[in-house]
């Protein structure tokens, strides 16, 4: 294997488990599989969607010519880019930056509001040297040193699940305000994001609001969740939080939407997980979304929302619809966080 030493200008948050330094050694043998870390050089500039989240959670502007470490993965966003990992990748090939967390793949669908994605030339596979004194590196991947997945939940910590009809429906705002409200009542709260595509921003918002710990599927070595890996990862993360920080309650955000392709349905179908769920918060953009969410949850998943929030509750029109026609509490997370948290507290204490 031919190797080269290079200096990175940017390190994506999706690579965090790999614990990269600025200077890395790259090899020309590339594992074209999700979770492996590559070094690439950006080939264009962008005026929109042109930043990258680094491992600390800081957003940094990207420029043409930047050498970036990112993680191979897929994305299937309705309001973002979609892309996948090619079957084979060689030095000199061109990939795309699919999200703000530095997920790398070949774009299959663009978003007109974001413009074309960053295009990047592959420089090589970033190598890791796990043994002291190792002279021969192996391709770095975020699964190394990750929180182990699990086949069963070993703990019985109460869960508050926050789901939505689609991305950008207010889930993180709701989860953050619930964390803040429960923290202020003296509860020891942990936070976790169980589905979606790698980005630290949401869990950092929840830790800023008072969570004693904030994890995501990325900490379990997953770039973006799928039906076949989401449940073992969720169990492993919940076991880890319960055993390491002993929370009174875990607020769990389910990224993307109820009918998206990131595995939310697999979690809602799992009786073991849902037995721990004391509250299910649903975020919806409008009346149709709220109505459809209730129909889907009660029909397919045999569960009922505890409260509706999100843009549908931005004014009295949507709030009244939810209360009168769906017979559910409705509280806006931005303007009525106190009312939202009161519903959750009642569910936890009930």
Q: What is the pLDDT of residue 203?
A: 97
pLDDT of residue 273: 97
Mean of the pLDDT values across residues 74-99?
95
Segments making up each domain of the chain, as ranges: 3-139, 159-349
Residue 247 CA to its chain's centroid (Å): 21
Question: Which pLDDT tens digit goes with each residue over 1-18?
Answer: 889 999 999 999 999 999
Q: How many residues belong to the chain?
A: 350
Given the structure tokens 């002291």, which residue do they identify? 132
pLDDT band at 104 (very low <50, low <70, confident <90, very high): very high
User: Would you place residue 40 in the very low, low, confident or very high pLDDT band (cuts 50, 70, 90)?
Assistant: very high
Beta pairing partners, 23: 7
Residue 310 has φ and ψ, to the nearest 5°, of: 95, -175
- How does pLDDT run across 203-242, given as a tens digit for each residue? 999 999 999 999 999 999 999 999 999 999 999 999 999 9
pLDDT tens digits along 272-331: 999 999 999 999 999 999 999 999 999 999 999 999 999 999 999 999 999 999 999 999
Average pLDDT over residues 90-95: 98
* Tokens linked to 252: 């769990």
Instruction: Please work out, in degrees rounded to the nearest 5, the angle formed at the alpha carbon of residue 207 by the alpha carbons of 70 and 168.
Output: 65
Residue 307 to residues 26, 61, 343, Cα–Cα distance (Å): 50, 38, 7
Q: For the chain, give the mean pLDDT.
A: 96
pLDDT-derived band at 133 (thresholds 50, 70, 90) equals: low
Instruction: Give the number of other CB atoms < 10 A from CB of residue 203.
Output: 24
In the prediction, which pLDDT does 132 show?
58
* C-alpha closest to that of 80 among 46, 36, 116, 41: 116
| Stretch 122-146: mean pLDDT | 86
Q: pLDDT at position 137, please?
A: 86
Contact 340, 322 (CB under 8 A): no
Strand bridging mode 277-283 / 307-309: parallel
Architecture per CATH, domain 159-349, reads as 3-Layer(aba) Sandwich (3.40)
Q: Say whether pLDDT at 350 is over 90.
A: no
Continuous H helices in the chain: 171-184, 201-208, 230-245, 264-269, 271-274, 287-299, 316-325, 337-349
* pLDDT for 134: 60
Cα–Cα distance for residue pair 309/27, rounded to 1 Å: 49
Predicted pLDDT at 12: 98
Question: Residue 135: is its pLDDT beyond 80?
Answer: no
pLDDT at 145: 86
pLDDT at 79: 84
If DSSP codes are grouped into helix, strand and coil, which group holds residue 115?
strand
Q: Does the pLDDT at position 177 exceed 90?
A: yes
Closest listed residue to residue 242, CA positions, set 319, 154, 165, 180: 154
């Amino acid at each position: 294997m031919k190797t080269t030493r290079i200096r990175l200008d940017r390190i994506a948050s999706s690579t965090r488990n790999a614990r990269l330094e600025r200077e890395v050694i790259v090899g020309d043998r590339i594992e074209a599989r999700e979770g492996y870390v590559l070094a690439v050089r950006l080939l264009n500039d962008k005026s929109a969607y042109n930043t990258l989240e680094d491992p600390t959670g800081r957003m940094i502007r990207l420029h043409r010519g930047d050498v970036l470490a990112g993680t191979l993965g897929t994305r299937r966003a309705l309001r973002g880019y979609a892309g996948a990992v090619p079957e084979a990748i060689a030095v000199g090939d061109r990939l795309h930056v699919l999200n703000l967390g530095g997920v790398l793949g070949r774009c299959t669908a663009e978003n007109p509001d974001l413009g074309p994605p960053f295009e990047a030339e592959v420089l090589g596979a970033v190598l890791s040297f796990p043994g002291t004194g190792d002279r021969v590196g192996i391709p770095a991947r975020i699964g190394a040193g990750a929180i182990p997945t699990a086949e069963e939940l070993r703990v019985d910590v109460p869960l508050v699940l926050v789901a939505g009809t689609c991305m950008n429906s207010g889930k993180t705002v709701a989860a953050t305000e619930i964390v803040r409200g429960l923290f202020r009542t003296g509860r020891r709260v942990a936070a976790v994001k169980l589905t979606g595509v790698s980005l630290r921003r949401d869990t950092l918002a929840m830790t800023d609001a008072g969570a004693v710990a904030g994890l995501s599927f990325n900490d379990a070595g997953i770039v973006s969740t799928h039906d076949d890996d989401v449940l073992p990862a969720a169990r492993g993360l919940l076991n880890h939080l319960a055993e390491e920080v002993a929370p009174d309650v875990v607020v769990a955000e389910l990224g993307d939407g109820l009918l998206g392709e990131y595995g939310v349905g697999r979690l809602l179908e799992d009786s073991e997980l849902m037995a721990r769920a004391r509250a299910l918060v649903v975020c919806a953009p409008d009346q149709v979304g709220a109505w459809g969410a209730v129909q889907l949850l009660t029909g397919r998943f045999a569960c009922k929302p505890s409260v509706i929030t999100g843009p549908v509750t931005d004014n009295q029109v949507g709030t009244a619809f939810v209360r009168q026609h769906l017979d559910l509490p409705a509280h806006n997370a931005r303007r009525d966080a106190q009312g939202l948290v009161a519903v959750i507290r009642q569910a936890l204490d009930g």
